[in-house]
Structure 1
Amino acid sequence: MSIEDRSLVETETARGVSSHEEAVRWLKERRIQDVECIVPDQAGVARGKMMPTEKFAAGPSITMPTSIFTQTISGDYPEEDDNFKHDPSDSDLIFDPDYSTLAVVPWASDPAAQLIHDARYRDGRPVDHAPRQVLRRIVDLYRHRGLKPVVAPEIEFYLVKPNTDPDYPLEPPIGRSGRPEIGRQSFSIAAVNEFEDVFDDIYAYGEAQGLEIDTLIHEEGAAQMEINLLHGDPIDLADQVFLFKRTIREAALRHNMYATFMAKPMSNEPGSAMHIHHSLVEIETGRNIFSTQDGTPSKEFFSFIAGQQKYLPHVMAILAPYVNSYRRLERWTTAPINVYWGYDNRTVGLRVPHSPPASRRVENRVPSSDANPYLALAASLACGYLGIEGELSPDEPIDGSARELPYGLPRGLLEAVALFEECDELVGLFGKSFVHTYRAIKQAEYETFMRVISPWEREYLLLNV
């Protein structure tokens, strides 16, 4: 079914659906044939089951093995140690649908829908190391203080030529002019229009799923783009990023391209980030607590920044989750290398954009686009929470470039993993189950990486050592 011929099935979303009965009625009215029951794993990859609508109607819950949340990005499983243990029987978890996420799958050849699920044990307890539950746990900490976090992610990605042999470097795709991009094309409308058909599909697919794009721009790299989402609830926005990554990949494939969210896909091009804007509002009044009644920055505003300054280095294993992620953090590039802060300063890790008092916010520029959105939002919010709870004070804001200042972030994955597991305050917020599971997965992924011999090693070591 083509985008040009989209039917009712592909143009209506399930906003307002809140029960199994309503979901079944919605599916039948639109003649949906299959339902994709999905859950984000630790990498943010969609795992799950596809079932006929009739089977879904018979019972909403599905089961999958416990190991779904201990799988590495390569499909392996970490070794056990003193703190991390596998479920010896790999017993089933129960996955319950969040009906508010029901939406069509607009690229499917037959009418299909998708539905994000939450994981629980058979006794009803939520799986506390499941990424969606990790984020919910951090949001609940704010709720208990009478606060609601508001976030707005910005996701960068590259369009590249199809690459079926990983030994070959990635290349920019051919646009409608018949030529690949050369040079820097930041904010170029003409460069965006080179891939107009792809973006038409992205917008159409997003609209069909109820995903709202604020803006789309061309970033600095060759065929590097950025999509900005509207601000809102952290869990809802994490769901949107999760679905948008899938959507963008599918739209690119339709035009014989790949879309990649690797942090550093090409050695001579800038890395890709997932910047996160944060503010906090009172649940009762809706007031942005980052501003006082007279419009000046509040104590909580500065403490939130201070918490991010102190703890972001300790959550880098989440914000930069792969060996490749640290290749993005280069001096003299657009990526930050430290956690200084400043007003409208894009050279620091923490930028405060110009805004009216009601919209005062903090932009975390550290996360890379390969991060799991649920975990990245949880980590960034957790750092700010600890700053407010501890009434911390930040450094003085940086006026001018911070790129020549010392590195303030871990330089590699193993260092980042150690910093995370050794931080008692963060272990207390995230829970030992998640921290030890996540650490074991990252260590296993690093060992897999170490079995690969790079071109650099062949280039400089083969005949010289």
Structure 2
Amino acid sequence: MLTREDVLEKAKESHVKFLRMQFTDTFGVLKNIAVTSEDLAGVLSGRISFDSSVVDGVTNHHEQDITLLPDPATFVVFPWRPREGAVARFICDVFDAAGSPYSGCSRNVLKKVLSEAAQMRIKIYVGAEVQFYLFCTDDRGNPTTNAHDCAGFCDLTPVDSGENARRDIVLTLEEMGFDIGFSHHEAGPGQHEIALKPDNALAIADKLVTFKFIVRTIAQRHGLHASLMPKPLNGAPGSALHLHLFPHREDNCPALDTEQPLPLERELGHFIGGVLAHTRANTAITNPLINSYKRLVTGDMTPMQIAWSEGSRDSVLRVAAHHDRKIRVEVRNPDPACNPYLALAVILKAGLHGMQRQLQPPPPLAENTLRIDENQNRGFRVECLPRTLAEALRELASDQLTRDTLGEYIYRRFAMAKGKEWERFQAFVHPWELQEYFSFF
């Protein structure tokens, strides 16, 4: 863990000239303000002030003064920049003019949930698998929807022509302190996946916002466009963000009995019960785009069923023993467009709520989930995820726990912006409509 003094010394040793003060807005878009190294001492003391609209992600007539306070543990030098006049970054927490955490700081939303978990003596490690596409660019460098290759699941060169770009992405991530589990070509043309090894939840959220920035930067250096859009191509698989949760007790005793086979030990079952109880409300946060719901359709191993299982890829939660005998809870419905701070916050808060209220999980989903009658005959009904962003926003509005987790400030701005986004979508005449109707009506 770097201290203030460590950062000052490391910046001097690395010949850092420029510092990027990074933070995310409400919608998970990474932003930054650049300062020079001469201001480093002041930066570390929280003397950088700015306008709150850049954090809110929306502009209104009630902007406030905010302060960016860098987290020394997130200091890292960008490896692709010159060694002389190097560029480094911090990830910042956001405070208001009075010195309190700013209501619109999504990083602080996650920190509050993790503080509650710590009071319950629960620590939750999180791993992630992130999928993305690489597309060709035109002669002017503008992105196209032409996939970079026609390879499939786990193919390799020469079919996987994105291997060099993916390798450079992995090497850059490792230089920036990431622990990479594996990487490979995914099922779609030009689609790739990189897995991040488990870390504490705040560190993983920091890594995920950095991941998206690095992937796009290194792809651009290869003359490619990296897209983390949930469903960029018709007829091809969507891109997911699979989150692997490992709940543990602070005294190193796991929150579950790893010696017992599934079905689940009681306490982890409560955690799963809580996550599932709030999944429909949380979907607006974990799947925040209109395009997100083009991926969440029945079939193609898409996690549509609000249930848990040991083997089915059609369930929102998949529960399995990890290689070290720890049980992992894989949350399969989020996509890479989400704000990882808010997504992890609402998922973990739901799980903690389930433990506090001792919520019971439903029976596990039948293996063949395409046959819904198998589950109905076993005496329970399986709900599905919302089918549109509008439906997801209605579910979010009706769930007080999720709204309280976000805080009313973030909730209102998120809901307002996404509601307007849906209305713009509804008012737009789409190419599909012209193709389907224009010749006949």
Give the 3 Å change call, closer, same or farther, for CA 387–87 of structure 1 in structure 2.
farther
Alignment of 1:424 onto 2:400: yes
1:255–1:44 Cα change, 3 Å = same
Deviates more, 1:370-379 or 1:423-432: 423-432
Aligned 8 A contact 2:128 2:242 in 1 = yes
Aligned 1:194-343 pairs, distance under 5 A: 194-283=161-250, 285-291=251-257, 297-343=264-310
Q: What is the CA–CA distance in structure 2 between the aligned matches of 1:131 and 1:192, rounded to whole Å?
A: 41
Partner of 1:18: 3
Shift in Å, 1:385: 1.6
Distance 2:324 2:165 in 1: 38
**Larger % of strand: which?**
2
Structure 1's consecutive aligned runs of 4 or more residues displaced over 4 angstroms after TM superposition are: 292-296
Task: Write the distance in 1 (CA, Å) between the matches of 2:370 and 2:113.
Answer: 31
CA contact (8 A) 1:273 1:369 kept: yes
Matched-pair contact (CA < 8 Å) for 1:163–1:170: no
Alpha-carbon distance between aligned partners in 2 of 1:366 and 1:400, rounded to the nearest angstrom: 18
- SS of equivalent residue, structure 1 residue 393: coil
User: Root-mean-square deviation (CA), in Å?
Assistant: 2.4
SS in 2 for 1:349: strand
Paired position in structure 2 for 1:67? 53
Matches within 5 A, 1:82-121: 86=60, 88=62, 90-108=63-81, 110-121=85-96
Shift, 1:189, TM fit: 3.4
- Report what 1:444 is aligned to: 420
**C-alpha separation in 2, matches of 1:66 and 1:404:** 50
Report 1:352-431 matches (<5 A).
352-355=319-322, 358-405=325-372, 408-431=384-407
**C-alpha deviations, 1:117-171, integer Å up to 9, x for none?**
0001121210133111111111112111111111111111111112699x99712
With normalisation by structure 1, the TM-score equals: 0.86
Deviation at 1:204, TM superposition (A): 2.4
The offset of 1:240, in angstroms, is 0.8
Within the candidate set 29, 42, 47, 2:26 is matched to 42
Find the aligned partners of 2:383 and 2:225 in 1 and give their Cα distance. 33
Q: Is the 8 A contact 2:258 2:326 kept in 1?
A: no
Call closer, same or farther: CA 1:168–1:189 in 2, change over 3 Å. Answer: closer
Which whole-Å CA distance do the structure 2 matches of 1:57 and 1:298 have between them? Answer: 50
**Counterpart contact for 2:160–2:185, Cα < 8 Å:** no
Paired residue secondary structure (1:171): strand
Asked if 1:181 is matched to 2:150, the reply is: yes
Q: How much has 1:300 moved relative to structure 2? A: 1.3
Q: Please name the residue that 1:82 is paired with.
A: none
2:38 aligned residue: 54
- Tell me how far apart the structure 1 counterparts of residues 138 and 277 of structure 2 sit (CA, whole Å): 40
The residue matched to 2:315 in structure 1 has which SS?
A: coil
Normalised to the residue count of structure 2, the TM-score between the two structures is 0.90
- SS of residue in 2 equivalent to 1:279: strand
Cα distance in 2 for residues equivalent to 1:63 and 1:203: 34
How far has the Cα of 1:55 moved from its partner? 2.4
Q: How far apart, CA to CA, are the structure 2 residues paired with 1:94 and 1:142?
A: 27
* 1:66 partner letter: S
Residue 70 of structure 1, CA deviation: 2.6
Higher mean C-alpha displacement, 61-70 vs 191-200 = 191-200
CA contact (8 A) 1:295 1:357 kept: no
Runs of 5+ in structure 1 lacking a partner? Answer: 1-15, 78-85, 174-179
Q: 1:114 to 1:164 in 2, by over 3 A?
A: farther
SS in 2 for 1:394: coil
Q: Can you list the C-alpha shifts for 1:39-85, whole angstroms capped at 9, x where unaligned?
A: 0112222212111111233443312211123325xxxx4xxxxxxxx
Give the distance between the partners of 1:168 and 1:115, measured in 2 at CA.
29
**What is the alpha-carbon distance in structure 1 between the residues aligned to residue 150 and residue 361 of structure 2?**
42
Q: How many residues align?
A: 427
Shift of 1:419: 0.9
Q: Which amino acid aligns with 2:353?
A: L
Q: Which residue in 2 is equivalent to 1:144?
A: 119
Query: 8 Å contact 1:192–1:217 — kept in the other structure?
Result: no
Does the CA contact (< 8 Å) of 2:180 and 2:195 recur in 1?
Answer: yes
Identical counterparts, % of pairs: 27
